Amino acid sequence: MTLFSPLRLPNGAVIPNRIAKAAMEENMADNDHAPSDELIRLYRAWARGGAGLIITGNVMVDARAMTGAAGVVLEDDRCLDRFQAWAEATRAGGGQAWLQINHPGRQMPKGLGQETLAPSAIALDLGAQSRMFPMPREMTPADITDVASRFVNTALLAARAGFNGVEIHAAHGYLLSQFLSPLANHRADRWGGSLENRARLLLDIVRGVRAAVSPDFAVAVKLNSADFQRGGFSPQDARDVVRMLGPTGVDLVELSGGSYEAPAMMGAARDDRTLGREAYFLDFAREISDVATMPLMVTGGIRRREVAEKVIGSGVAMAGIATALAIEPNLPRNWERGNNDAPALRPITWKNKPVASSAHMAAVRYQMVRLSQRRATTPDVSPAWALLTSQLQATCSARRYRRWMATRQTFPQTPTVAHNDVSRAPRADPVRSGE
């Protein structure tokens, strides 16, 4: 097995190589919060680059719940033609195209002016930045059922648009990750307490999606290997959740880690002087692999071919690459030709990790915007400048989003399947390893 060997998933679909373009939050929606022309051009560049799997950035399942003001929303078919164009551009290079679907929970900026929902009424603890996020309202059982239905609905729409699969985001402190974490989930009902209860919503959504889509449509999960917070979601919890996911028909689990409060998923604040620290979730993957009945993918800081090869050589099925592909979209083809490119941004050494994480994300977005404009990337961009321009753009986008929300008379109703209790969806047969 090499970096350029194909991978057959449990559902029979084949990914042509072991390099995945991991999700990054682009915030490049058009005025209808559908994929913009710029976003489609960006994904066409990645498709040409040769990654075997391309996973989109966050796509929201509910317009009222956004990770960013210029995010993409897929909750009805009004702009399905734009999603079809996005899927077609993403598949153009011959790789698989998966839509990452998400709900932010309490990680929604206050400036968007929407009510924030979470498993429990526990605010984010970001020090001085905490004021940027509102106190969430604890979700009712009806809220939980509605969210689960929306994930299923968005997955069905993704299939109609021509995507090859979806990745259900249960990492990085977003809603499903909040349910999994004992720090964010203090519920005393069937969705709180034991890990089995805290994992219930994720498992119900996975079963509901798997039952609703066709067998050849991939269903993946992005999961934290740990929250990196004392008392939070632990590596042992991650092992147990991966074991629980085994019988649900999941085709791949991507392992990452952290949240807004502990941004371990951002390499900017890490010391990357050594080879081993590039793939900084690989050790967790090794610990989890013995209970995984589905292929695993590791994402986090990979930018060198030798590190990606180390990941695959360890038995992990896919190497997920994010920042390096925002700098050099042709990285997979360059590596296949024998080049040893190792794209990197200017290091960020700021002591405030949440701010450093925001600056890293801003610098990554700066590269993606340039690619969408068919311009050369500038990896040496000042993190402070990238953060400032990103904040100005976010302010303008937030005003536009609030105006857009004010014009909406009613929220779209989800289709019949979404009104069912997805926890009652039939379980899929156990899957075999995709290796």
Q: What tens digit of pLDDT does each residue of 66-121 get?
A: 999 999 999 999 999 999 999 999 999 999 999 999 999 999 999 999 999 999 99
Q: What does the pLDDT read at residue 261?
A: 58
Q: What does the pLDDT read at residue 274?
A: 35
For residue 333, the 8-state DSSP code is H
**How far, in Å, CA of 266 to CA of 256, rounded?**
10
With a CB cutoff of 8 Å and minimum separation 6, the contacts of 54 are: 20, 21, 43, 46, 47, 90, 95, 96, 97, 98
With a CB cutoff of 8 Å and minimum separation 6, the contacts of 135 are: 116, 121, 123
Q: What does the pLDDT read at residue 375?
A: 97
For residue 16, the 8-state DSSP code is S
Q: Is residue 307 part of a domain?
A: yes
What would the two tokens of residue 220 be? 């993946």
Q: Is residue 434 part of a domain?
A: no
**How far, in Å, CA of 3 to CA of 53, rounded?**
13
Contact 230/276 with Cβ under 8 angstroms? Answer: no
Q: Is residue 430 part of a domain?
A: no
Distances (CA, A) of 113 to 104, 155, 237, 403: 14, 27, 34, 10
The CA-CA-CA angle for residues 145, 146, 151, to 5°, reads 100
Q: Which single residue is written with the structure tokens 């022309």?
A: 37
Q: Is residue 254 part of a domain?
A: yes
Residue 288: is its pLDDT beyond 60? yes
In the chain, pLDDT over 90 holds for what percent of residues? 76
**How many contiguous H segments (helices) and E segments (strands) does the chain have?**
13, 14
Task: Name the least confident of 101-105, 181-185, 283-287.
Answer: 283-287
Domain encompassing residue 321: 7-424
In the chain, pLDDT over 70 holds for what percent of residues? 87
Q: Is residue 1 part of a domain?
A: no
Q: Is residue 2 part of a domain?
A: no
**How far, in Å, CA of 71 to CA of 190, rounded?**
32
**How far, in Å, CA of 315 to CA of 74, rounded?**
35
Supply the DSSP string of 242-300, one letter for each residue.
HHHHGGGT--EEEEE---SSS-TT-GGGS---SSTTTSTTHHHHHHHHTT-SS-EEEES
pLDDT band of 351, cuts 50, 70, 90:
confident
Contact 147/103 with Cβ under 8 angstroms? Answer: yes
> Which of the pair, 195 or 266, is modelled with greater confidence?
195
Domain of 276, CATH number, reads 3.20.20.70
Mapping DSSP to helix (H, G, I), strand (E, B) and coil, where does residue 194 land?
Answer: coil
**How far, in Å, CA of 105 to CA of 118, rounded?**
5
- What residues pair up with 15 in beta bridges, in sequence order? 7
Q: Is residue 367 part of a domain?
A: yes
Task: Name the least confident of 123-132, 175-184, 361-370, 395-404.
Answer: 123-132
Q: Is residue 433 part of a domain?
A: no
Task: Name the least confident of 39-48, 229-238, 258-267.
Answer: 258-267
Domain total for the chain?
A: 1
